[in-house]
Structure 1
Amino acid sequence: MTTHLKKRPRLENLSVNHLDELPDDLVISILRKLSSSASSPADFLNILVTCKRLNRLGLHPLVLSRVGTQTLAVTAEKWSVSSHRFLKLCVNAGNVDACYTLGMIRFYCLKNPVSGASLMARAAIKSHAQALYSLSVIQFNGSGGNKSDKNLRAGVALCARSAYLGHVDALRELGHCLQDGYGVSRDVAEGRRLLIQANARELAGYLSLKPGTDLNGGCLPVQEIHPVNRFLKDWFDSGRVVLAEELRMCSHGGCGRPETRSHEFRRCSVCGKVNYCSRGCQALDWRAKHKMECAPLDLWVPAAIEVGDVDAVDVENHAPR
């Protein structure tokens, strides 16, 4: 006696791809939300390789214009022609974060300062606070050119705009400029007020942290590193590009900016061992580690500082320990 097993229905006949039923406008809206909130490039790029339709719609200008900072956070280790092309697509779509990211990479890593500064300017025109501050650092230092290319008034103007948009480092930089009369008429009281305001904003950020947050031994948490600054640091630390012997990196570990000419950055006026591209980096590095390492030099040779166009910079908060 034989028994007949019931045949299972073919799954392919019952499976329905509901994605095909969704209109393009709705899929684009979903992808825009995903691209702006993804926590890493892989979260978004994995969608692009799912199928041809998602790849086509994922590269739509409406989607690329909303790609967020973390989605653009390509690492130096994974930098390639494809990642460069993706950033350019985002730039062409009008993404200001992409303009800033690719601008920084081209200016400092790919040795194309003209194109890099132009891209950062595009972001700055759209009131991108970090782009404004980065351009102010370039103007203060004359980066990409000679010492005569420094434009202190332009640096102050860019810094003021960035500070107005809430950039704490720009606020501190502007405060020091006013205190010292650097590129602007001296106003000690207003400069001090801005420095206090910058410290208050950092304190407010500390108070908003959840209990148990690691402060790395400091009284305030270390500021989160922007992905493009991490890219710059990893790019030069990896040995992918070797700086000329006379060029130095900014001593703040969260910056990654290199000198574009000899003695471009200023050094600590107390120990003379560290170099900073800006007051913002100086203050952050002081709080993070340099206050534990800084000590006056026993033998101070003025000629060692006066070579080239290097300046000494006073480190704030120096006090007897």
Structure 2
Amino acid sequence: MRTRRGNSYPMVGAQTTNSRKRMKLSSARCNFFNMLPDDIVLSILVELGSTAGCPADFVAALTTCKRFNGLGLHSLVLSKASAETFAVKAESWSACAHRFLQRCSDAGNVEASYTLGMIQFYCFQNRRNGAALMAKAAIRSHAPALYSLAIIQFNGSGGSKNVKDLIGGVTLCARAAFLGHIDSLRELGHCLKDGYGVGKNIAEGQRFLIEANARELAAICSKHSSAIMSGDWLNLHLFLRGGNPAVTCSQLISDFGFSLSPPRSHPSNRFLAGWFGNRIPDPAMRVCSYAGCGRPETRIHEFRRCSVCGVVNYCSRGCQARDWTIGHNKNCNPTVRLVNINAGGR
């Protein structure tokens, strides 16, 4: 029924029915999530943190709601966060980032321990604390931490030249090589071939170098099956099988004409590269020439120069091999070293 103004009288019971429907709908929307047990929400956050591709993925989840913010900082979630969750940029470093990494490390996250250890050791010259954090990750069989500690032992980083521990470096490399770390396999192979910190064994060293190349090729093919379309596959097969003595003297897959893209560096190395891009503590100190490393010298002439051109310098054999593969093989010129020697340079 309508009034003079055209308004309709409400039907009896209609308003009550509509309000009840709205209340049921709103309560259903609110309660379905709240009814989930904490264990299920934690499992979701653990999966999210372990597969995060950048810090923003994890932070966005924490800012979704109050419950996510509370459970997202649970020790179980923090202990399973991926390495990319800690990929903070050097220009964004703050006390909050340090506290978050420390909290994740205390929760048992090996990636957080390693990342914070690298930052403390190289960026803030806190050698003792940085080495302790890397050792905390190495104890739990974290291959990059084992390899980084091996580099420190080989170079005597943080101390004088006389504090090098070659046997300790070889031991750490062997442990990381057992875990399948490619750079450690290559480093150990060169140590065996040169008798550096271990008894000289050329055949065994060559075997480790072949295994490093095989693992490197397998990793690239598994990610990009069409990335390698050129090269002498027969020679490569013989090289990996060790069936051609003329080929086994080679040490890198790039020597066969294969174009290999550099692997994505660890977030800690990307942080070091950004940190020391514009701030070198001492102009006399050098940074590893491999762009994916970022490690600086802790004393003058700590790193070894390229024996051919004498222009670039590396913290390890692994970085030298990677830099050679991605472009130094085209730029390495022995005449540059001769010019520097004639000019009185090193």
Give the TM-score normalised by the residue count of structure 1.
Answer: 0.88
1:179 corresponds, among 190, 193, 196, to: 193
Separation in 1, partners of 2:22, 2:301: 70
Separation in 2, partners of 1:230, 1:159: 22
Deviations 1:281-315 (A, max 9, x none): 0000011111111111234639854xxxxxxxxxx
Query: Is 2:68 the counterpart of 1:64?
Result: no
SS at structure 1 position matched to 2:132:
helix
The answer (yes or no) to whether the contact 2:228–2:258 under 8 Å persists in 1 is no
SS at structure 2 position matched to 1:77:
helix
What is the match of residue 162 of structure 2?
Answer: 148
Deviation at residue 184 of structure 1 after TM alignment = 0.5
What is the match of residue 168 of structure 1?
Answer: 182
1:1-321 to 2 correspondences below 5 Å = 1=2, 2-4=6-8, 9=19, 14-15=25-26, 16-17=29-30, 18-213=32-227, 219-237=259-277, 239=278, 241-296=279-334, 297-299=337-339, 301=341, 304-305=345-346
Separation in 1, partners of 2:301, 2:332: 20
Deviation at residue 53 of structure 1 after TM alignment = 2.0
The answer (yes or no) to whether the contact 2:54–2:87 under 8 Å persists in 1 is yes
What is the match of residue 248 of structure 2?
Answer: none
* Distance change >3 Å, CA 11–CA 113, structure 1 → 2: farther
Separation in 1, partners of 2:22, 2:280: 58
Amino acid at match of 1:42: A
Deviations 1:223-273 (A, max 9, x none): 221111111101111x2x333111000000110000011110000111110
Deviations 1:159-211 (A, max 9, x none): 01001101000000000000000000110110011111111111222322335
Separation in 2, partners of 1:144, 1:11: 68
Separation in 1, partners of 2:38, 2:201: 57
* Distance change >3 Å, CA 83–CA 12, structure 1 → 2: farther
Q: Which moved more, 1:151-160 or 1:223-232?
A: 223-232
Deviation at residue 158 of structure 1 after TM alignment = 0.2
Larger radius of gyration: 2
The answer (yes or no) to whether the contact 1:218–1:287 under 8 Å persists in 2 is no
Q: Which has the higher helix share?
A: 2
SS at structure 1 position matched to 2:120:
helix
Percent identical residues: 56
What is the match of residue 319 of structure 1?
Answer: none
SS at structure 2 position matched to 1:301:
helix
Deviations 1:79-126 (A, max 9, x none): 111111111110010111111111111111122111110000000000
Separation in 2, partners of 1:213, 1:11: 57
| Number of residue-to-residue matches in the alignment | 303
Amino acid at match of 1:3: N
The answer (yes or no) to whether the contact 2:167–2:197 under 8 Å persists in 1 is yes
Deviation at residue 26 of structure 1 after TM alignment = 1.7
What is the match of residue 238 of structure 2?
Answer: none
Separation in 2, partners of 1:76, 1:236: 9
Amino acid at match of 1:55: N
The answer (yes or no) to whether the contact 2:228–2:260 under 8 Å persists in 1 is no
Separation in 1, partners of 2:258, 2:23: 61
Amino acid at match of 1:251: S
Amino acid at match of 1:178: L
The answer (yes or no) to whether the contact 1:109–1:235 under 8 Å persists in 2 is yes
Amino acid at match of 2:263: Q
What is the match of residue 309 of structure 1?
Answer: none
SS at structure 1 position matched to 2:90:
coil
Q: Which moved more, 1:115-124 or 1:228-237?
A: 228-237
Computed over aligned residues only, the root mean square deviation of the Cα atoms, in angstroms, reads 2.2
Q: Which moved more, 1:40-49 or 1:282-291?
A: 40-49
